[in-house]
């Protein structure tokens, strides 16, 4: 493949020179084959979604452990678009954050699709001409996801020391085996999570000339209270969208098919239930009179409303990952029937 000179002002190549250029090279061989590490990631005739995941989960197509990635992964599955997933890092993304989608090799397009353009891509794949109707209340509820639920998720995973092993396993250890690099990454992630939370919560001394600096303090009680309220509100919305147990479709805003908002709620709810549920043997601790320092997010999900959120989660799982439908076995009767 020839390349042109970097000098844009170059006059057109004189004819004899052009003839000379066209006559070389004299011999062209087949392309060099790619190295081993690149072989697995380059041959694909369906699009590939790059998400946070483990190698094994990615091979089996299991859910990602990151809410934003899981939202898009779920929506792609609900839209019945075939795709692969590959485990990746922020560094691989064109925007600096996951997920992003690489179209199929065979489609000819090589530009990756960041999450901001993913919705339009999916619409074009489904051959839908218009956006789904946006319910008037959707925007308000979207902010519930973006702020209180996200903050509580960020706090619990990144800043709560009881979950530091989980944080390590999911995000830190796969990056490198070096203790020094892991410590640096852990510190960077925690600072980033803290500043994200502080951007949207009010700390005692925010405002004034230092506004905008994440110098405040994170208040966990406030975060969990907001999360609980948000979950209650979402559960309430589900209940009024779906009056009556029979014949209800079970999706947000009374839609007949699950939409992007359903996928977004599912992403948070599923991950909270999966990772931040009180372990079964903790009941004994509570009875011994220990004070509960923080609520478990998984419990907050189950307790919201009449358990509509778990029902919603299971309904989505039935469509996407039927093997993972959660059958609750908690003894204290806080669960609803499917």
Q: Which helix (H) or strand (E) holds 39?
A: helix 36-42
Q: Is 1 in the site for other proteins (CB under 8 A)?
A: yes
| DSSP secondary structure code for residue 35 in this structure | P
Among 62, 81, 86, 326, which residue sits at the site for other proteins (rule: CB under 8 A)?
86
Give min distance, CB of 112 to other proteins, in A: 7
Give min distance, CB of 26 to other proteins, in A: 5
Give min distance, CB of 113 to other proteins, in A: 11
How large is the angle between the packed helices 260-275 and 67-78, nearest 10 degrees?
130
Q: Is 34 in the site for other proteins (CB under 8 A)?
A: yes
Q: Is 48 in the site for other proteins (CB under 8 A)?
A: yes
Cross-strand pairs, 86? 50
Sheet strands side by side (includes 113-114): 84-87, 48-51, 100-102, 113-114
Write each residue from 167 to 196 as x if it is in contact with other proteins (CB under 8 A), else as -, in one continuous string: --------xxxx-xx---x-----------
Tell me if 63 sits within 8 A of 78, measured CB to CB. Answer: no
Q: Which residues of 260-281 are buried (b: 16+ CB within 10 A; e: fewer)?
A: bbbbbbbbbbbbbbebbbbeee
Among 8, 11, 15, 91, which residue sits at the site for other proteins (rule: CB under 8 A)?
91
Please choose, from the candidates 324, 320, 249, 273, the residue with its C-alpha nearest in 3D space to the C-alpha of residue 67: 273
Please choose, from the candidates 104, 87, 88, 85, the residue with its C-alpha nearest in 3D space to the C-alpha of residue 96: 88
Q: Is 20 in the site for other proteins (CB under 8 A)?
A: yes
Q: Is 256 in the site for other proteins (CB under 8 A)?
A: no
Among 8, 12, 36, 211, which residue sits at the site for other proteins (rule: CB under 8 A)?
36
- The rounded distance, in Å, linking the Cα atoms of 274 and 268 is 10
Nearer to other proteins, 24 or 240 (CB): 24
Nearer to other proteins, 110 or 204 (CB): 110
- The rounded distance, in Å, linking the Cα atoms of 91 and 302 is 36
Q: Is 43 in the site for other proteins (CB under 8 A)?
A: yes
Choose one: 14-22, 126-134, 206-214, 222-230; the region binding other proteins (CB under 8 A). 14-22
Nearer to other proteins, 16 or 136 (CB): 16
Choose one: 89-97, 137-145, 202-210, 284-292; the region binding other proteins (CB under 8 A). 89-97
- The rounded distance, in Å, linking the Cα atoms of 243 and 310 is 17
User: Which tokens go with 110?
Assistant: 């090589």
Nearer to other proteins, 41 or 206 (CB): 41
Cross-strand pairs, 51? 87
Q: How many residues bind other proteins (CB under 8 A)?
A: 52
Nearer to other proteins, 86 or 166 (CB): 86
Name the site residues for other proteins (rule: CB under 8 A): 1-3, 5, 13, 17, 20-21, 24-43, 48, 50, 55, 58-59, 86-89, 91-94, 102, 110-112, 175-178, 180-181, 185
């Amino acid at each position: 493949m020839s390349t042109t000179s970097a000098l844009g002002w170059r006059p057109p190549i004189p004819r004899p020179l052009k003839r000379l250029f066209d006559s070389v090279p004299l011999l062209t061989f087949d392309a060099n084959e790619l190295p081993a590490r690149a072989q697995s990631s380059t041959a694909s005739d369906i699009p590939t979604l790059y998400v946070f995941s483990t190698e094994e989960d990615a091979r089996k197509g299991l859910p990602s452990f990151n809410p934003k990635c899981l939202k898009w992964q779920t929506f792609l599955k609900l839209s019945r678009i075939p795709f692969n997933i590959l485990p990746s890092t922020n560094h691989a993304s064109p925007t600096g954050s996951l997920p992003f989608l690489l179209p199929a090799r065979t489609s000819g397009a090589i530009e990756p699709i960041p999450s901001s353009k993913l919705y339009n891509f999916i619409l074009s794949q489904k051959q839908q001409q218009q956006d789904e109707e946006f319910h008037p209340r959707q925007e308000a509820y979207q902010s519930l996801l973006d702020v209180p639920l996200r903050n509580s998720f960020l706090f619990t995973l990144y800043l709560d020391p009881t979950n530091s092993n989980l944080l390590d396993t999911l995000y830190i250890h796969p990056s490198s085996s070096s203790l020094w690099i892991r410590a640096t990454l852990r510190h960077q992630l925690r600072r980033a999570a803290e500043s994200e939370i502080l951007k949207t919560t009010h700390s005692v001394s925010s405002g004034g000339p230092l506004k905008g600096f994440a110098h405040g303090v994170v208040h966990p009680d406030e975060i969990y209270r907001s999360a609980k309220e948000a979950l209650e509100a979402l559960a309430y919305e589900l209940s009024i969208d779906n009056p009556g147990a029979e014949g209800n479709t079970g999706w947000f805003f009374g839609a007949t098919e699950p939409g992007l908002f359903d996928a977004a709620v599912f992403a948070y709810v599923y991950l909270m239930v999966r990772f931040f549920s009180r372990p079964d043997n903790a009941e004994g601790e509570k009875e011994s009179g220990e004070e509960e320092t923080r609520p478990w997010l998984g419990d907050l999900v189950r307790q919201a409303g009449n358990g509509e959120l778990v029902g919603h989660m299971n309904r989505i799982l039935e469509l996407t990952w039927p093997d993972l439908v959660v059958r609750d076995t908690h003894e204290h009767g806080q669960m609803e029937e499917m």
